[in-house]
A and B are shown apart, each in its own frame.
Chain A
Amino acid sequence: MRKLFLLLLLASTGVPVWLAAQASPPVVEAHWVLPTDAVHAGSTTRVAVVATIASGYHINDHKPTLDYLIPTELKVDPGKEIRFTDVAYPKGTSVKFEFSDQPLSVYQGRLVVEATLKVAAGVAPGTYRMQGKLAYQACNDHACLAPTSVPLTLAVKVVAAGVPVRRVNSDVFSRAKSARAAGAN
């Protein structure tokens, strides 16, 4: 009975919200972030994809609570000069939704997915573009959108050995490190 009442409430309040959201920006926007303005051949560095999830929506954890849910996944096309390994997803937030009997682990708000970028030895200086995507399936608490993805292009500037590189985006990586530590505890 309580569930029926809540569903009725959702129907009466949720649909206008849903309709308003139809004209909103894409549910997830994402971009690559590098820790330095350039890299050297033969080096290894951590990179990140920073995603912003529209208010009121969530996307599923990379390891979803229920087996029928579609996981969030970072996919990068493999390249000869540059490769990605060790993709690390944060632990999602546990949220109880009306459509599920148990809390679900989801991402809301801001999501940072880290990966290790390896530049092959002997790669000539220049800019290398890597294509990838962040695949996700978004819902709000009363309806879901079809699975989709955000295209991602990463321009990696490789400089010759001895050319100094400058640290950038330190706030992103320090926050990701803190979040990782909190998730591990």
Chain B
Amino acid sequence: MSEEFENQQSGAPPSEPDGAAGKGGIESSQPPLLPAEPRHGMSKGAKVAIGAVVAIVLAAALYFLNNRWIAPATAQQVRAAGNYPMAPDFSVTDLNGQKINLLDYRGKVVVLDFWATWCGPCRIEIPQFIEMQSKYRDQGLAIIGLATQDQLASVQEFYKQFHMDYTVAMSNDRTEALYGGILGLPTTFVIGRDGRIYSKHTGATSGGVFEREIKELLAASSSADSPDFKPAVPPNSVEDVDLGTPGEINHEVPGVDISKLTPVQLAAFKKQLQAKNCTCGGCKFNLLDCRKEDTTCPVSRKAAREELTKFQSGAGAKGDETKPAETKAEGSKT
């Protein structure tokens, strides 16, 4: 890569503007066609010297500005981007028949709540969400409730009974997988106006915690990150947000992106997983079966992803050059 760069540099045309060198040559070798005008100011040499000084001062100023403000700000943004991943987009149809795309909510603060009618800790949160939606709607808050592992009729009944005035839709396996697998309910993501996930809460959480986070994110602009945002929960209970990608949504090895493996490599990789015991604690499955049995298990997901890295860096991935395996979409027959 560096060699290629050097070659490009050595083969590149001169950096001076076209004609600049020629002009200098004419001036130095031929007498001027017109009589020389009287000189009003500085000589050419003085102009060049001043230009050089100005250039040096500008460069120094830029260097100072960069060190003092630009670089730290950029680093802070990068850090914020690293800590706060983009919320995966999804499409669902709400209980009123409206199609919902998360992307359409960009510019709003979104509380994305995975919940269920059969879940007591979820139900206790609903009145506070209703209250917050009403209180902060005009400032740009949108609450979306995704009913998980539930019956449509039960959700519709609950929606009416509790007068839920925010968007409610049925969840699906794909959306849950995109959000890293929903292990426990309620699981709630707080998303900023910039579309980043700023916090994740598993389990019943105080309305005060949500309200502090919502207010801070509502105060941020729609185009900037919120690098100073701190989730309103003690540091030891802040959860990592481990999202899934579309490539990880498959039936062969759920939670692991196998899209770059050829069919032969996939078969070899699955054998590799079958030869490993799952370490999720007492399940007695091999790693492959563990992944299939409980797609939300973070332990087996991490272990399987590590195995893929090993596989791709080892001999297993180098022996076959045929086309990558087609990853079957969620819901398709395997």
Contact = CB atoms under 8 A, between A and B. Distances in A.
Interface of A: 4, 7-8, 10-16, 18-19, 22-26, 29, 66, 68-70, 97-100, 104, 137, 139, 141-147
A99 B237 contact: no
B206 A8 contact: yes
Given A11-B209, A12-B234, A68-B117, A18 B282 contact: no
Nearest to A3: B124
A25 B282 contact: yes
Interface string B123-155: 110000000000000000000000011000010
Interface of B: 116-124, 148-149, 154, 183-186, 201-209, 233-234, 236-237, 239, 280-283, 297-299
Nearest to B124: A99
Nearest to B120: A99
B118 A143 contact: no
B121 A139 contact: yes
23 contacts: A8-B209, A10-B203, A14-B203, A15-B239, A16-B236, A22-B299, A23-B299, A25-B283, A26-B283, A68-B118, A69-B118, A69-B120, A98-B124, A98-B204, A99-B123, A137-B118, A139-B119, A142-B204, A143-B185, A143-B202, A143-B204, A144-B185, A145-B184
Contacts of B234: 12
Contacts of A23: 280-281, 298-299
A100 B207 CA distance: 16
Nearest to A141: B121
A11 B201 contact: yes
A145 B183 contact: yes
A12 B204 CA distance: 11
Contacts of B183: 22, 145
A18 B184 contact: yes
Nearest to A144: B119
B203 A100 contact: no
